[in-house]
Chain A
Amino acid sequence: MAGVLVLFSIALITIYFRESSGGGLHQVQSVGATVLRPFEVAADRVSRPFRDAYGYFAGLVHAKSENGRLRRDLDKWRQEATQNAYAASEKTDLLKKLHFVNSRSFPGGFGFVGADIISQPPTAFAQQVVIAAGSASGIRKFDPVVTGEGLVGTVVRVTHKQSLVALLIDDTTSVVALDVKTRAQGIVKAGSSFDHVGKDQRVEAGDKLVTAGWKLGGLSSIYPPGIPIGQVTAVGQNDVDLYKHVKLQPFADFKTLSSVLVLIPKNR
């Protein structure tokens, strides 16, 4: 009996792993997730007061002196300041190069879908969350996900009414980013390091990073330019490595995420 179940599990893994995202097992899982959704939503609603209470007391324990209004104000002004700085630096740069044709506006070309986070995988392997919106809301794979604080991640799987979002701090997430102050460009990996920044480029602690939103011929980044990512916390380099060692702190607080916005291109 147990042997049969083990073999069946291995067969499930093998088939699931090999089939496309539209395959039979994926469809079954999608239906199953839809069936489980009411239970998850109910559990989420029942537990929310307890979580809020826990969050309140945890905040006291950690001596968080700032109250909610100040934090929201801070997030709002920080985002605005980052976007202004980015817009100013981008404008200067584009003026110099006379490439207004390729000017990037954010978030002009995007609409958004708001969604609650309904479950999180119970493992330390993947920093991914499930949100309560899917293809029925217009969401597609690789749509960027944000909050008022900044970039949260990317949609990596979509079902009819739910989507799986790989967070910025997931090991699989890489984002081409730009230092708004110095225009240094690199790749933010797993939300913790700003890699491939040459030694000749200037990056300082405290600098703010935004999505670069590159475009190359017919290809373009899945992230629109100018979304705040995080702040540089440490910069170092040595004689051996080709690139600087840059650490950063994401703006988004992934431990307290309860809802997100999925950016949807208007021209899709």
Chain B
Amino acid sequence: MIADIAKGAAVLFVAAIVQVTLLSQIDVFYGAPDLVLVTLVAVALLRGTIFGAAAGFGAGLVVDTATLQTLGVSSLLLTIAGYWIGRYGETTGRDRSHAPFVSVAVVTLLYSLGALILHYMLGDPASASRVLLDAFPFELIFNLILTLPVYALCRRLFRPPPTGLEEVRLLG
């Protein structure tokens, strides 16, 4: 468990640093890949709700600190995203091959909506059309492209927990 926490912290820290220094500069109609979100989805799918929520909270803090943005905004959104995807992984999604892609697509949309609402509530100038019409399609495409390598890497780092199937397998 401690090894998992260390690996999760390292992976998300690197993802956050790469995100704020490199990937944010990719700008296609305001859309940019979100490596932190994709990595969080992969980790949460493999390790469940508690791990996902805690990882999302920590990654959000790093992002908000590195970019000097309002502390807690990314943490709140990523905590919810991590919990929700962890829940999906624990119940139905973990063993399905399409689960990472579906999760990333849905979370990208919900994250954009949540961020829009949160920034609107904080009084930031937030353009819904820019976020949802201009940026979202390209962000979704970028995130889906990142999903396969990131999920493969996380799957190697975080082996799926034992399912108990070995004990109930019927012979004959």
Spell out A's residues near B (CB within 8 Å).
1-2, 5-6, 8-14, 16-17, 25, 28-29, 32-33, 36, 39-40, 43-44, 47, 51, 118-126, 128, 130, 157, 159, 162, 164, 171-172, 255
Interface flags for B82-97 (1: CB within 8 Å of A; 0: not) read: 1100000000000000
Known A16-B70, A124-B30, A164-B68; contact A171-B127, beta-carbon cutoff 8 A: yes
In chain B, residues 47-66, which have Cβ atoms closer than 8 Å to a Cβ of chain A? 49-50, 53-54, 56-57, 60-66
In the bound assembly, the distance between CA atoms of A5 and B71 in angstroms comes to 13
Measured as residues with beta carbon below 8 angstroms from the partner, the interface class of chain B is: 35 or more
Among B18, B30, B67, point to the contact of A121 (Cβ < 8 A).
B67
Q: Which residues of B contact A36 (CB under 8 A)?
A: 17, 62, 65-66
Closest to A122 in B: B24
Q: Which residues of B contact A2 (CB under 8 A)?
A: 49-50, 53, 79-80, 82-83
Closest to A172 in B: B125
Q: Which residues of B contact A13 (CB under 8 A)?
A: 70-73, 76, 122
In the bound assembly, the distance between CA atoms of A44 and B24 in angstroms comes to 12
The interface-forming segment of B31-39, B102-110, B151-159 is: B31-39
B22, A51: Cβ atoms under 8 Å?
yes
**Residue picked from A47, A121, A124, A162, most chain B C-beta under 10 Å:** A124
Q: Which residues of B contact A25 (CB under 8 A)?
A: 71
Q: Which residues of B contact A51 (CB under 8 A)?
A: 22, 25
Closest to B26 in A: A54
A9, B19: Cβ atoms under 8 Å?
no
